[in-house]
Amino acid sequence: MEWLAEMDYSILAGPDIAHEGEYPERDSYQDVVLDERLKDALKRINPNMPMNAIELAIQKIAANESSSLILNNEKFHRMVTEGLDIELQGSDGYNPTEKVWLFDFEHPENNDFVAVNQFTITEGSQNKRPDVLIFVNGLPLVVIELKNATNEATGISEGYNQLQTYKQAIPSLFRYNAFLVTSDGVNARVGSLTANEERFMKWRTIEGLELAPTSLSQLEVLLKGMLEPSRLMDILRNFILFQTDGENTYKILAAYHQFHAVNKAVEKAKVAVQGDHKIGVVWHTQGSGKSLSMVFFAGKLIQAMNNPTIVVLTDRNDLDDQLFNTFSISKSILRQTPSQANSRDELRQLLSVESGGIIFTTLQKFSPDEDTGIMPCLTDRSNVIVMADEAHRSQYGFGATIRGNDAETKYGFAKYVRDALPNASFAGFTGTPVEATDKNTPAVFGEYIDIYDMTQAVEDGSTVKIFYESRIIPLDLPSDLRLDDEYEEITEDQEQSVKERLKSKWSRLEALAGAESRIKRLAEDVVNHYEERQQAMFGKSMVVVMSRRIAIDLYKEITALRPEWHSDDDDKGVIKIVMTGASSDPVEWQKFIGNKKRREYLAKRMKDNEDPLQIVIVRDMWLTGFDVPAMNTMYIDKPMKGHNLMQAIARVNRVFKDKPGGLIVDYIGIAESLKEALHQYTESDKNTAGVDSSVVVNILLEKYEVLIEILYGHDYSGYLSDKATVRMNAIISTMDFVLGLGEEEKKRFLTTVTELSKAFALCATTLEAQELNAEIGFFKAVKASLVKSIGDCSKKKTNAQMEARINQLISRSVISEEVVDIYESLGLENPDISILSDKFLEDVKAMPHKNLAVELLNRLLNGKVKSVQRTNLIKARKFSDMLEGALNKYNKRAIETSKVIEELIALAKEIDGAYKRGEQTGLVKEEIAFYDALASHETAEQVLGDDTLKLIAHELSKSIKANMSIDWNLRESARAKMRVTVKRLLKKYGYPPDLQKEAVETVVKQAELMAQLEFELNI
């Protein structure tokens, strides 16, 4: 709250501004908008609007038009960015329509910024209380959920889960939401209304000039980086968009690198239009949202530069289609529908406007006139901005070359684009760095505006590392045939004619790579490697080959080995080929050739994690701009170099659940090309891409040695037994051994197994990993059982991601088909937390694994003490002290483990007795709690006697319940009133005056705990 106050936010307490509070700003707990603040802001921002128009605007803001939360949120966002059209009453029968604006974007200080904590909301039968809400002009734009930094069991995942619960329970709050924040005091993440947990990201900079030092709290950086008034207004207006795939609508919030890069680029554009027309180059590594950065840039340019014409250039038809699709489904932020120019005439026609328009075209449309060799001027307007995707390819050059028998002079496309658009300004976007020797790119576009490299993306969790594994199947190359730069030239230019591509050298190499014996070996290796990888972790795969012929032959070999993977239907089958073709291609190829619609359908299947389609074979389709987060392996059997190679391998760097990294499997020898391509990258990037899998094997062996050292002296060889009971016993006895090592060593064991599992998932197919497979499976089973199964039954132990990981690891492990149920394995019934039966306690006492027994009792009793605390503060304090005392002795090894077990069992029985006391005394649960609070002093019991204390407890319970209203325990005035009520009652019955003060505090504290319990039962 102090950080927000520093940025001129007003800080308010939810209970104070409730309708029952001291400074009410709401009529009821159902209200999520602060109406008076909204009305005042609308009058201030729209000073010429009559009051009835303001009232009408407020009605429109509050109206829900759909049962869908996300559609209501999208409608509200349109009101924010486009203003509200309000029809005014005219005097002469003409009713003009005027805009009412909700926020003053030009003057952020003219808006009203408020942070409220503990803001209780009632919807239906649900009561919820988000930690902090950010209101701007009375509208709740940001929800912040904070978890306790000192509690190891809760983190940002639990905060994320809590936000999802709020969305279900109090959807009215989220109609106005811009974004959501979750923090555990150490970590902080931000995401949109529809973002899954992986897409809740860090915000790593405040001003955008440099990354914040790690010494600064992530929450401080996020709040100051996003909620500073001018930045929040900018994000709200220019950096949120909605997309739909026809079925679902998704809300997208820009990441910090996109926000700052776009703002820098817009400022550069304003200068370039008046000067040298070079805006600059944005290098944002593949997978980090480069296409969306281009959309945000176009959206903000339209606002900042009075609607210029934007020309989006690509150098390939398939890229043009992909990018055009991204812009088309984001048209609300662009405030217009993009167009695609399919010919030069169409391009000229689209450019013949005064301003506006977003036009997509390929470089090849800028070809000179065939007769004159001159490129005509298409428009000489200066309000034209050219955005080039992958702005560093060789085609963007200026240089002249002499071609053909008639020595015709051909220039690079950059010259022709400049001739066609002489006064346009140029911005380049690239996912790979501009090569040091490349003089064309700076000449056309200017210098770098912003760099977001692979290392930063991996650190942010925007992408994962890429690992490299060599499985080369040699080519029998004749002496005159080498893999040299000529191949790069042949494969680079995708929109050129077929004749250009089928040069003789490439054909000869393709014949060798596609030899029948080699394809057979390749098919066998891909199948085995893929299946071994699937055992370690779920993921989809792509195979890249040199030609369509090889793709088809490989498909046939793979499906001969695994016939069940094949299907003639597009909606079935595990493996497919994605390629283009023509009716002139051989008849047997036709069933593999697909049109654009078929490719889009297969892409949809590939992106669906539940769909059986797991493997695609491609030649050059889908190697750029194709996103399948679950894709974790790329098998490469095609020579590639430079940015083409870097773009291709980035298909496996997308973030997905607990995917530790992507793997490139090399069959043709691209290692040197990879090293060469990486020369252009930042130093840190060289350690992030193409990391040799032998590095991971070393990590695997190192972590394995650490585990062997931790388990020194313990025999767990039973895990190899054929008998399930012996295997189970090995898990149980190892858990007992680990628990006996103490808390620190237990943590080290759990951490090391996690690291071992991640390393194994990345190198599961290596010989070393295979040798340790069974043992690693065993370690994972022990870890999963330690983490999940010894529960206190009071709450969920692990977040969904952790659960998914454990289930995935264990279900595939050689040891056990599922996470071990400790109770069942030990022959115990799974206990009911509220009643620990004598039989259960005796069974625990008789357990041979004493450390496990202590851990089991500790967890169960901890859960019981917590539940007692809610209803009986005095008893809980006593039980908590007893439990702590027993465990301290155990941890210091001051007494035998069996003695600790006896003490814990005695405590369990006493707690159980406390549950049953109500039946014996004739008091209900709440009355017993107050009775214990009053009788905790012997003097009081001696003076008043048992019956009088019971009578006071009964009356207290009745009168406290009568005085309880929502949030009374959070309002000081209500708490003071409660104290007065308690004091009067104690006085009435002659409770000893010297003990009254303490008794009042204890009773009120007990009542607050009950109110909290009541609230949480509603959660």
Q: pTM value?
A: 0.69
Under 8 Å between Cβ of 16 and 23? yes
Report the alpha-carbon distance of residue 764 to residue 741 in Å, rounded.
30
Give the C-alpha distances (Å, rounded to integers) separating 839 from 479, 789, 868.
83, 21, 22
20-26 long-range Cβ contacts below 8 angstroms, 24+ apart? 20/965, 20/966, 20/967, 20/971, 20/974, 21/971, 22/971, 22/973
- Beta-carbon contacts of 291 under 8 Å, excluding residues fewer than 6 positions away, are 322, 323, 326, 389, 625
**Domains 256-457 and 466-479+525-687 belong to one CATH topology:** yes
> If DSSP codes are grouped into helix, strand and coil, which group holds residue 938?
helix
Q: Taking 50 as the threshold, does the pLDDT of residue 836 lie above it?
A: no
pLDDT-derived band at 374 (thresholds 50, 70, 90) equals confident
Q: Strand 358-362: give its sheet, edge to edge.
A: 339-340, 358-362, 309-314, 384-389, 425-430, 278-284, 448-452
pLDDT computed for residue 506 by the predictor: 58
Return the structure tokens found at 881. Answer: 């002290």
pLDDT-derived band at 393 (thresholds 50, 70, 90) equals low
Return the structure tokens found at 753. Answer: 């197994």
> If DSSP codes are grouped into helix, strand and coil, which group holds residue 573?
coil
Under 8 Å between Cβ of 103 and 45? yes
pLDDT-derived band at 811 (thresholds 50, 70, 90) equals very low
Neighbours of 598 (CB within 10 A): 13
β-partners of residue 354 are none
Report the alpha-carbon distance of residue 938 to residue 354 in Å, rounded.
92
Residue 554 or residue 398, greater confidence: 554
Give the C-alpha distances (Å, rounded to integers) separating 106 from 110, 208, 231, 351, 852.
9, 20, 12, 31, 64
CATH 3.40.50.150 holds for 1-253: no
For domain 466-479+525-687, give the CATH number.
3.40.50.300
- Single-letter code of the amino acid located at 670: I
pLDDT-derived band at 674 (thresholds 50, 70, 90) equals confident
- Single-letter code of the amino acid located at 710: I
Summarised one tens digit per residue, pLDDT across range 553-589 is 999 999 999 999 999 999 999 999 998 888 888 888 8
Answer left, alpha or beta for residue 400, where phi above 0 means left and psi between -120 and 50 means alpha: beta
Report CA 239 to chain centroid distance, whole Å.
17
Report the alpha-carbon distance of residue 186 to residue 227 in Å, rounded.
18
pLDDT computed for residue 847 by the predictor: 63
Give the C-alpha distances (Å, rounded to integers) separating 625 from 318, 424, 428.
9, 26, 16
Report the alpha-carbon distance of residue 525 to residue 561 in Å, rounded.
11
Report the alpha-carbon distance of residue 853 to residue 843 in Å, rounded.
10
Mean pLDDT of the chain: 79
Which H/E stretch holds residue 113?
strand 113-117
Return the structure tokens found at 13. Answer: 């307490």
Based on C-alpha coordinates, what's the Rg of the chain? 34
Return the structure tokens found at 575. Answer: 């493996």
pLDDT-derived band at 259 (thresholds 50, 70, 90) equals very high
Give the C-alpha distances (Å, rounded to integers) separating 880 from 152, 407, 885.
19, 93, 9
pLDDT computed for residue 216 by the predictor: 84
Q: Is 261 exposed, middle or buried (0-12, 13-18, 19+ CB in 10 A)?
A: buried
Summarised one tens digit per residue, pLDDT across range 295-327 is 999 999 998 988 999 999 887 776 678 888 889
Summarised one tens digit per residue, pLDDT across range 342-371 is 888 888 889 888 888 999 988 878 878 777
Question: In the predicted model, what is the mean pLDDT of residues 257-263?
Answer: 95
pLDDT computed for residue 39 by the predictor: 95
Question: In the predicted model, what is the mean pLDDT of residues 716-733?
Answer: 82
Which H/E stretch holds residue 114?
strand 113-117
β-partners of residue 278 are 426
Report the alpha-carbon distance of residue 611 to residue 564 in Å, rounded.
15
Q: Taking 70 as the threshold, does the pLDDT of residue 957 lie above it?
A: yes
Report the alpha-carbon distance of residue 332 to residue 253 in Å, rounded.
14
Neighbours of 916 (CB within 10 A): 10
The number of residues in the chain equals 1019
Report the alpha-carbon distance of residue 172 to residue 778 in Å, rounded.
48
Give the CATH fold of the 256-457 domain: Rossmann fold (3.40.50)
In order, the DSSP letters of 511-555 are HHHT-HHHHHHHHHHHHHHHHHHHHH---EEEEEES-HHHHHHHH
Summarised one tens digit per residue, pLDDT across range 600-643 is 899 989 989 899 999 999 988 888 767 888 898 999 998 887 77
pLDDT computed for residue 43 by the predictor: 95
Q: Taking 70 as the threshold, does the pLDDT of residue 401 lie above it?
A: no
Q: Taking 50 as the threshold, does the pLDDT of residue 676 lie above it?
A: yes
**What are the extents of the domains in the chain?**
1-253, 256-457, 466-479+525-687, 697-795, 838-920, 925-1018
Q: Of 126, 99, 118, 79, whose CA–CA distance to 240 is shortest?
A: 79
Report CA 845 to chain centroid distance, whole Å.
45
